Amino acid sequence: MIQESLPELPQRSLTSQGVLYRPLQDIEVYVEDEGSEVFYEEILYRLIDRKHRIVKVFPLRGRENVVSECQNYNDNRPALFIIDGDLTWAAGVPDLSIDRLFTHQCYCIENYLICENAAIEVAFENSGTISRDKIKSKLKWQNIKSQVESYLIDLFSEFAVAHVLHPTLKTTSHGFESVCTQPKKKAVPQFDSNKSKSLAISIKNDVISKVGLTVYQETRTSVYNRISTLPDPLDAVSGKDFLIPLMMFCIKQIVNSNLTRDSFVLRLAKHCALEKLENLKQALIQEITKYQYDTQQAATAVSADAPPLAP
């Protein structure tokens, strides 16, 4: 039997979906990637603590589409358009200043999911036989972070410099596999610092050949100083393409499991710490509250202008 895929919604119809859900939720939330809306919904559900209704998140198939739809949005209903920081943010380029547009202050939404306690909880649920304390002692997440941090910061500094000076150069899309080695067949891949250094040097040389050493060095110094002094420098590393795979590989070394990426990400969203998401929470509440205030003001104005009832 030939299975037919469901027809894909045309781009112009994506934002119109929000209208259908207006009776069910207090704000429309639009994001970049299809597939990310599932764990976004889980995070937002936890973040607003049931005080406001968000039942559906709408993906718009890319950063540019989110920005464009945000610029064109002129409805008086509350809406928030969310984009990842990406290499633009990592490089220190100022955020776009557009009403209702929210930029994550990290590489991407997946960076918020990188949480040791959440990883331990997922491994615990998957195991069923290993205690949380034992999983934590085996995982040694803080040790792993300290081992990979300097290499990944160097690599993503080069990626960010390339993004500014040589935008067509392939960077993050190399993926985590490009800095891994598989010790033996069917074994869990391991982070390879030598591969990471080689890739960083390759990116560096390509940028220098494009713009020259002086321009490269000035930009590289600025970018590296910014990233290395962030409260958590790994926020400038792609959670989606590098840190999530790294955490998955670490857990698979502890728990013999066929854990899929989608399942892993969703379950991290159920357990991750929410402190880094406080700015997003405030942006959501501010947008909802602003609409409620504007509605009340309009109702008051209408009431004041209404003619008195006849006796």
- The amino acid that residue 252 corresponds to is K
CB count within 10 Å of CB 121 equals 18
Comparing 185 with 264, which gets the higher pLDDT?
Answer: 264
pLDDT (tens digit per residue) in 256-278: 778 899 999 999 999 999 999 99
Q: What is the pLDDT of residue 183?
A: 78
Q: In what order do the strands lie in the sheet with 101-103?
A: 57-59, 28-31, 79-83, 101-103
pTM exceeding the 0.85 threshold for the entire prediction: yes
Q: What is the pLDDT of residue 11?
A: 58
Neighbour-count burial for 37-59, b at 16+ CB within 10 Å, e otherwise: bebbbbbbebbbeeebebebbbb
pLDDT (tens digit per residue) in 121-138: 999 999 989 999 999 999
Domain segments of the chain as ranges: 11-109+276-291, 115-268
Q: What is the pLDDT of residue 7?
A: 53
pLDDT (tens digit per residue) in 100-128: 999 999 999 999 999 999 999 999 999 98
Task: Tell me the helix, strand and coil percentages in the chain, rounded to 5.
Answer: 60, 5, 35
Tally: H helices and E strands in the chain: 12, 6
pLDDT (tens digit per residue) in 26-61: 999 999 998 889 999 999 999 998 789 999 999 999
